[in-house]
Homo-oligomer: A and B are copies of this chain.
Amino acid sequence: MDIETLKAQNPAHWTKAAAIRALTLDAVAAANSGHSGMPIGMADVATVLYEKHLKFDAARPDWFDRDRFILSAGHGSMLLYSLLYLCGDPEITLDEIKNFRQWGAKTAGHPENFLAQGIETTTGPLGQGLANSVGFAMAEESLRARFGKKLVDHYTYVIAGDGCLMEGVSHEAIGIAGRQKLSKLVVFWDNNNITIDGTVELSDRTDQVARFKAAGWHVQEIDGHDPSEIDAAITAAKTDDRPSMIACKTHIALGHAAQDTSKGHGALTDADQNAAAKALWGWTTGPFEVPDDTKTAWEDIGRRGVAEREAWEARVADLSATRRAEFTRTMSGEAPKKLSSTIKALKKQISESAPKVATRKSSEMVLEVVNPIVKETIGGSADLTGSNNTKTGDLGVFDVDNRKGRYVYWGIREHGMAAAMNGMALHGGIRPYGGTFMCFTDYARPAMRLSALMKVPTVYVMTHDSIGLGEDGPTHQPVEHLAISRATPNTLVFRPADTVETAEAWELALTQTSTPSVLSLTRQGLSTVRTEHKTKNMVAQGAYVLADADGKRQAILLATGSEVEIAMAARDMLQADGIGTRVVSMPCWELFEEQDERYRKRVLPGGPVRVAVEAGIRFGWDRWLFGERGKREKSGFVGMHGFGASAPAETLYSEFGITAEAVAQKVRGLIEGKWQPDPRT
């Protein structure tokens, strides 16, 4: 169908879609950067979706029961910004459109969820939005099961491009969605056959239709410029009991000189070509000008959901006070009041019984008491349930016939799990946690970065956190992964030393509102070091004096997690020699960094020699060894200097020299002034 025919057949639709196209051209040209072709190509799909299907109230982008619209092909951000502006979103004003990609604008190069409520998720790293959407849809299913469809009943719509579908994470995401029969998830594939390097065939000839069918999806193929086909396909998608993929054959940069080319993917800034495209579209107003009648038509769309939203609010108001409070609290992400006392009670009990357990088991002990009171948790594991200890007795399994279940068998899909958890957290009403081996932080990494960037409190339960996992060897032994997570802004990395610290770490993780947490947990058993009960959450300070020096303080040992008990044993040896030794447990560097200078100085005073012990590489430790009143020549590190090896854990600790003896030895040498540089770190 050519453009004239499209225009003639659906003039009202065409004009509305043209508004998206024109705003995109104008904004990208003004910024002199961006991606014009995708919004132009998908304007018809988006227009039909917003006009005929999407349940939303533009003035109230925070309405909890709105349909979610996720632009997985995030480079086409002007599509989303145009829609928000046109419909009357309070935050995405015309000025924002004019300031596209400029400092301080809400209209960033790629959509950033934290800049405006109307932006559901941060996209740009391809495939992430699609994988998030699986979590959005799961969150909706879970909350609908819990609160009923009068309160929760909405769809998740996604636009994904060829890049999204080539990325590996898309495989994991569609596998999960197919398995879970997420019937309220509808994905539009912008099938324009263009990538940056050329036509898709240059790098891929996958039959996407067959592929999605193989994953258990309902699939339709349509002309992505024909409004009636689009409308019919969405209607069909909404009623099928499987997730739906609608393959929309589109032309990137439709009507522009760059149509159907890689050039069309990028910034179209040639004034003459842009003018010609606008002429072809029948768009006659100046830059950023939307004719009143067109703007009004869009604003009517933006108001379509007002009555529905008000009815929903009335239903919420009609709830019993208790139920309304619980629903409101759940939506808000606030932790239940009982959490704090529950954690304290567990701590007390543990300090008294002082069990020797792995911290992955400690984590399970915490979850066993937490999950029954924090009903919004959804736990899971990437096929390591028995190893990550993430499943507690009360959860039940989230499944097609049990949406009340709160445990997800994610399969061997660390990346998909992490991205879906982000989606759940973004959706709201769910506090997701998921486990894998810490080394496979690598697989989940793109989504873990996005948790931090997007400011969502996803919790990563990373067990088997060092050579202490033993025989599985260096492919499974993290050495640099603590550094990787610590290097990531806005991420709390907890490495608790025992069950008490694990409980404190969980309390902190579950009360975060805008920061993800990484729990680094052992495979091997650890002694309880916090045998004296304190109601205060000591981990909240990031680091604290676990055992002070007897007599003159000559040494400070800094340790985390499984190495705290090694530090304690070294302290015993040193004290026996009359060397006053303090042990500082440092379960969370980031929180310690946030303490004031006075507290930090109290914990790490200048003077004594310092030795840090951690079964990971040294990278990052210099801050605590040389900085904070420390000195290079009075400090040392006992840890890893490269990859691990395959052998029993005790052998590895011994062969790699991470022992109490080595720590004590290093302290003695430093006190005697015999500093030596580390092996290459």
Contact = CB atoms under 8 A, between A and B. Distances in A.
Given A162-B412, A416-B168, A620-B620, A490 B196 contact: no
Contacts of A484: 480, 483-484, 487
Given A383-B197, A487-B487, A487-B617, A412 B476 contact: no
Interface string A631-664: 0100000000111011110011001000000000
Contacts of A446: 440, 442-443
A475 B125 contact: yes
Contacts of A33: 470-472
Interface stretch (A1-9, A147-155, A172-180, A501-509): A172-180
B103 A651 contact: yes
Contacts of A470: 33
Interface in A214-233: 214-216
A572 B670 CA distance: 41
Interface stretch (A64-72, A200-208, A274-282): A200-208
Contacts of A641: 489
A344 B291 CA distance: 62
A180 to B, nearest CB: 9
Interface in A412-444: 412-413, 415-416, 439-440, 442-443
Given A196-B385, A442-B125, A680 B594 contact: yes
Contact of A101 (B31, B124, B213, B471): B471
Contact of A168 (B195, B207, B413, B680): B413
A316 B102 CA distance: 62
A540 to B, nearest CB: 16
Most B C-beta atoms less than 10 A away, residue of A483, A489, A617: A489
Contact residues on A (Cβ < 8 Å of other chain), bracket: 35 or more
B166 A413 contact: yes
Contacts of A442: 125, 445-446, 449
Contacts of A620: 483, 487, 619-620, 622
Interface stretch (A105-113, A306-314, A531-539): A105-113
A10 B163 CA distance: 49
Contact of A171 (B124, B168, B383, B655): B168
A175 B206 contact: yes
Contacts of A163: 383, 412
Contacts of A383: 163, 166, 195-197, 203
Most B C-beta atoms less than 10 A away, residue of A104, A171, A643: A171
Oligomer: number of copies: 2
Given A125-B443, A383-B197, A475-B74, A172 B167 contact: yes
A339 interface: no
A489 B483 contact: no
Contact of A166 (B104, B175, B643): B175
A159 to B, nearest CB: 16
Contacts of A617: 487, 489
A387 B109 contact: no
A475 B124 contact: yes
Contacts of A101: 471, 473, 646-648
A123 interface: yes
A305 interface: no
23 contacts: A101-B647, A102-B646, A103-B652, A109-B646, A112-B473, A123-B475, A126-B412, A162-B412, A167-B172, A168-B170, A168-B171, A195-B411, A196-B385, A197-B386, A203-B383, A203-B413, A210-B211, A450-B475, A453-B643, A480-B489, A487-B620, A623-B681, A628-B632
Interface of A: 31, 33-34, 74, 101-105, 108-110, 112, 122-126, 162-163, 166-172, 175-176, 178-179, 195-198, 202-208, 210-211, 213-216, 381, 383-387, 409-413, 415-416, 439-440, 442-443, 445-446, 449-450, 452-453, 470-476, 479-480, 483-484, 486-490, 590, 593-594, 597, 617, 619-620, 622-623, 626-628, 630, 632, 641-643, 645-648, 651-652, 655, 677, 680-681
